[in-house]
Amino acid sequence: MADKSMTKSQILDHLSKKTGSTKKLAGQFVDELVALAHREAKKSFVIPGLGKLVVVNRKKRMGRNPATGETMVIPAKKVLKFRVAKAAKDAIMPKK
């Protein structure tokens, strides 16, 4: 059985307790961090120790319509990816 992820309220409660600030102030900080990430993602946005938001150009490719089995061309497009930092990977999945 998988554990449930923390809700925004639980995250804000944890941050406010750890920093000794109010839940409202922690919420404003998180909201501003998210807004900043949205604005800066085009140039790549890094949160040290956690990861980086980057825009990646995907090439056009061949795909298959699952309903009909017909092959089709999937056009080139830009996608947003989150690349996890090595420090975060090592903290979550330690080396063997």
Say how far apart CA 61 and CA 73 lie, in whole Å. Answer: 6
Position 1 scores a pLDDT of: 45
**Does position 3 have pLDDT exceeding 80, yes or no?**
no
Task: Say if CB 15 and CB 29 are below 8 A apart.
Answer: yes
Position 19 scores a pLDDT of: 93
pTM of the model: 0.75
Position 50 scores a pLDDT of: 94
Interval 33-55 mean pLDDT:
93
All domains of the chain in start order, with CATH: 1-40 (no CATH), 44-96 (4.10.520.10)
> What is the band of 2 on the pLDDT scale with cuts at 50, 70, 90?
low
